[in-house]
Structure 1
Amino acid sequence: MTGTPTLLLTRPAEASERFAAQLRGVLGARTPKVLIAPLMRLDYAGRLPEMTRVAGLIFTSANGVRAYAVAGGPRDLPAWAVGDATAEAARRAGIPARAAGGDARALLDLMVRERPPGPLLHVRGEHARGDVARKLRVAGLDTRETVLYRQILLPLGDAARAALEGRAPVVVPLFSPRTAVQFATQHGGRAPLLVAAMSEAVAREVAHLPAVRLLTAERPDAPAMLRAVVALLDHAARLEGPETDG
């Protein structure tokens, strides 16, 4: 049989540690070995535009909230957030925020329906999907955007490579298409691979890998990813490993 599965977390360290803590809250003593090997680090180097006339904020990730806080943005503006985790990050930073339901489409629908007065400011990273500001402008909402952080890709570390070259199953949750591409280009080895993808867009980037199982989360949020990872860990525990020589 295979050895104990390894959970390989590739998000930036803080996000990976938070996800690992959430998993421990679900699995307790059954939590497997967790290996944190970020494929991306964040550089909070952006500067805010003139904020005097800004009437509301848009956050499509918790990273955007942190970047906004680091940049010293005012906290008394109303905010709209893509999902519960992002909204909670905003509230912890002292910014009143509403959650839209988990994806960019839901966020756009909510804002177009409510039509808050502008100007609105979308706080985002250098690499972002959804084209939120432009779509809101097309819908008639005065919306600008500002890039407050960079997502810098990193190589797989030695420990991660060793796990992927071993015999025990490796469960890998992937949260963004860009990270999925980075993982796919560096993956190698013989370990049974089980991948949890946060969305269909993420799953497409790793569909060619020789995974034992590729599972897409029911929703693009942390609770759904936790459920997907638990399901994959259960599946990994039942796998038979490759035969040994001799």
Structure 2
Amino acid sequence: MITLYDLGPSLLEDQTLGLSTPCRKIILILRYKDIPYDHRFISLSEIESTAKSVGAPPTTTREDGAEKYTVPFLYDSTHGRAVSDSYLIAQYLDEAYPDTPKVFPKGTKALQSLAVDALEAKSTSLIPVIRPKMYRQMTPKMFEELNKQYGPAPELSTEELTAQLAKAKTMFDELKKSFGNQEELYVMGDRPIYVDFSLASLVLTLRVYYGSQSKEWGEAKNWAAGRIGNICEGILALMRV
């Protein structure tokens, strides 16, 4: 059984899509692959000790050279493995569960890594939109820890929010050029791969924190001539567990 560790909990009624974007990516992949898992929430102050307790390695280093632990990480009791970092976790799931749909078709790892880096660069425009909403919907303990570690999240005025979403739209609209006249929904055709899940997990953050009926999510679905919304809805429809 896989135990996936995510940042949380929050005050949201529905937390099934996860609270952190990297964890959401793995949740979508696990459900696409139909792999059962246990979704556990831990606070910022619990990440390092919990990761060490299950044998999950650090994902990076701090400025002072100390090891840094981040979510997501998982422990797979079936195979006795602990894995950190969403990119490495996705590769592990392909290898450890070979009878499930692959998110890294042969020969695509390097190309997908570059594509995801480009996507994450585009997503920086969403940070000012998401952070204040995310902070407000966390438990008091999580709110305090987020403020302490990352600083306060300034609230946007209506005008600032509109301008920031317009900036995000401009960034994501550039994806239209990448898809060109391609009729297939996903990057490589009819089946999603890692980069598709990366895109969906980023944009679905608006749905998680603003709501499925919100104006903000409604606008995001229409980015890139509707391609963004179609990919997100397509992936949600594939979730099996």
* Short-chain TM bin: under 0.3
TM-score, normalization: structure 1?
0.26
Higher helix share: 2
Give the structure with the higher percent strand. 1
Structure with the greater alpha carbon radius of gyration: 1
TM-score (norm 2): 0.26
